[in-house]
């Protein structure tokens, strides 16, 4: 199939439709509004439903209902709106329903700004809502990868009966790049025989629920969830690495920030520095073991983020104290420049190449 030039936010919609998602419930918020606008235009053409809810809370609860009824369904928002959705996300995770949630992050806390940021890393990877649950968190670095991860994300959600979050930022939502729509890897997807469809009088009622009043039952449910998360950790880690076996300094960065890091690395290489990159594509499950492959004589790991240091916690867990871990970040919608990263890498080098 030929490549088409698409804006990130619209490419999300096109990819979701390609993945068989016909239902979108959302609420307007900058910088992701092109996505609901695209869905409002396109979903009716294929017999689907776009519904603008009265709030993000209502939108995620509509997703909760629709996912329970057994269809592919999604919502999208940006940071403050995603905060409002946490209640519903926790229920969806607790009731083990598949759905796709897109967070095109903006600066915070509070109303923050409308400029790109990566300040929701903790919220996305540590739960966000109440309870001991995990989302599969996918962090694309370009529009093609965004499209691929949306399509595969629906399959991952269905395979594990778990909500999947796409974590992007205002930059990837707004940038235009050529994309093609490819078939994802084939997965064995289970029948949705648990869905609310009406009993038809020939089966026992299906119940979608996250309430377990008896402590032993709730513990058993949590043990089951954790076993599922363990399987996801074993099967679904995605990471891209560059030159880490040979590097004197390794940068850890994800999403659009990783692209800026790549530019910095190219420049540093011209100057004779050996710099590698670990780019987690899944932020949960995190590619901890990738850090075991780093050159044992590496001088340090530099984490670069558009926040004040969130993924750095996972980097520290990953390196198990073997390497010094450094941080460079901009926040508030400020984007790190290649030169800033270059200076920081040189600092980690400590003056000697």
Partner 1 sequence: MAVVFQKTRGLTDVSTHYCPGCTHGIIHRLVGEVLEELGVLDNAIGVAPVGCSVLAYKYFNCDMHEAAHGRAPAVATGIKRVRPENFVFTYQGDGDLASIGTAEIVHAAHRGEKISTIFVNNAIYGMTGGQMAPTTLIGQKATTAPLGRSEAHSGKPIKMSELLATIDGAKFVERVTVTTPGHVRKAKKAIKECFKVQIEGKGFGIVEVLSTCPTNWGLTPEEALRWLEDNMIPYYPLGNFRKPEEVE
Q: Per-residue x/- marks for partner 1, 234-273, CB under 8 A?
A: ----------------------------------------
Does 199 sit near partner 1 (CB under 8 A)?
yes
Nearer to partner 1 by Cβ, of 196 and 324: the residue is: 196
Q: Smallest distance, Å, CB 76 to partner 1?
A: 15
Q: In this structure, what DSSP letter does residue 327 have?
A: E
Q: Is 95 in the site for partner 1 (CB under 8 A)?
A: yes
Nearer to partner 1, 51 or 239 (CB): 51
d(CA 194, CA 220): 19
Sequence-distant (6+) residues with CB within 8 A of 56 are 27, 29, 77, 81, 82, 84, 85
Exposure string (b/e) for 5-16, b if CB count within 10 Å is 16 or more?
ebbbbbbbbbbb
Helix (H) or strand (E) holding 265: helix 255-270
Measured from the Cβ of residue 184, the count of other Cβ atoms closer than 10 Å reads 16
Q: How far is the CB of 200 from partner 1 (least distance, A)?
A: 5
With CB under 8 A, what is the number of residues at the site for partner 1?
Answer: 38
CB under 8 A: which stretch of 29-37, 84-92, 228-236, 257-265 binds partner 1? 84-92
* Cβ burial, residue 65 (10 Å; 0-12/13-18/19+): middle
CA distances from 312 to 23, 305, 316, 327 (A): 36, 9, 6, 7
74 touching partner 1, by CB under 8 A:
no
Q: Which of 4, 111, 189, 207 binds partner 1 (CB under 8 A)?
A: 207
Instruction: Kindly indicate which of the ranges 37-45, 193-201, 262-270, 279-287 contains the residues binding partner 1, using the contact rule CB under 8 A.
Output: 193-201
By the rule CB under 8 A, 83 interacts with partner 1:
no
**Which among 4, 8, 5 has a CA at the least distance from the CA of 31?**
8
Interaction of residue 77 with partner 1, rule CB under 8 A: no
Q: Which of residues 6-45 bind partner 1 (CB under 8 A)?
A: 23, 25
Residue 67 makes contact with partner 1 by CB under 8 A: yes
Beginning with the edge strand found earlier in the chain, give each strand of the sheet holding 136-138 in spatial order. 49-52, 23-26, 73-77, 99-105, 163-169, 136-138, 282-284
Give, in order, the Cα–Cα distances in Å from 32 to each of 14, 65, 150, 173, 199. Answer: 14, 23, 15, 7, 38
Q: Say whether residue 206 binds partner 1 (CB under 8 A).
A: yes
Confirm or reject binding of residue 91 to partner 1 (CB under 8 A).
yes
Residue 209, interface with partner 1 (CB under 8 A)? Answer: yes
Binding segment for partner 1 (CB under 8 A), chosen from 56-64, 135-143, 242-250, 288-296, is 56-64
Give dist(CA 339, CA 265) in Å, integer.
10
Footprint of partner 1 (CB under 8 A): 23, 25, 49, 51, 53-55, 57-59, 61-69, 71, 73, 87-88, 91, 95, 196-201, 205-211
């Amino acid at each position: 199939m030929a490549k088409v030039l698409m804006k990130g936010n619209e490419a999300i919609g096109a990819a979701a439709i390609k993945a068989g998602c016909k239902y979108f419930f959302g609420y307007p918020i900058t910088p992701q509004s092109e996505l609901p606008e695209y869905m409002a235009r396109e979903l009716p053409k294929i017999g689907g439903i776009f519904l603008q809810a009265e709030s993000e809370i209502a939108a995620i609860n509509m997703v909760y209902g629709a996912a329970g009824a057994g269809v592919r369904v999604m919502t999208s928002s940006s940071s403050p709106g995603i905060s409002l959705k946490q209640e519903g996300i926790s229920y969806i995770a607790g009731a083990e329903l598949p759905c796709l949630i897109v967070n095109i992050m903006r600066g915070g806390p509070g109303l923050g700004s409308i400029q790109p940021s990566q300040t929701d890393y903790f919220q996305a990877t540590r739960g966000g809502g109440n309870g001991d649950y995990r989302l599969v968190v996918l962090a694309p670095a370009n529009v093609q990868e965004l499209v691929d991860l949306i399509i595969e994300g629906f399959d991952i959600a269905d395979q594990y009966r778990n909500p999947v979050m796409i974590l992007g930022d205002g930059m990837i939502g707004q940038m235009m790049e050529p994309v093609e729509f490819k078939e994802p890897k084939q997965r064995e997807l289970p029948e949705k025989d648990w869905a609310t469809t009406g009993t038809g009088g020939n089966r026992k009622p299906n119940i979608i629920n996250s309430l377990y009043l008896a402590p032993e039952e709730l513990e058993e449910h949590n043990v089951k969830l954790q076993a599922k998360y363990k399987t996801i950790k074993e099967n679904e880690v995605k990471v891209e690495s560059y030159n880490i076996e040979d590097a004197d300094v390794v940068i850890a960065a994800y999403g659009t920030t990783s692209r800026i890091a790549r530019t910095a690395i190219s420049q540093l290489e011209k100057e004779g520095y050996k710099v590698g990159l670990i780019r987690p594509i899944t932020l949960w499950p995190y590619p901890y073991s990738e850090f075991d492959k780093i050159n044992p004589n590496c001088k340090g790991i530099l984490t670069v983020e558009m926040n004040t240091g969130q993924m750095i916690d996972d980097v520290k867990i990953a390196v198990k104290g073997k390497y010094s871990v450094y941080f460079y970040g901009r926040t508030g919608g400020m984007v790190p420049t290649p030169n800033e990263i270059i200076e920081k890498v040189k600092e980690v080098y400590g003056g000697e190449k």
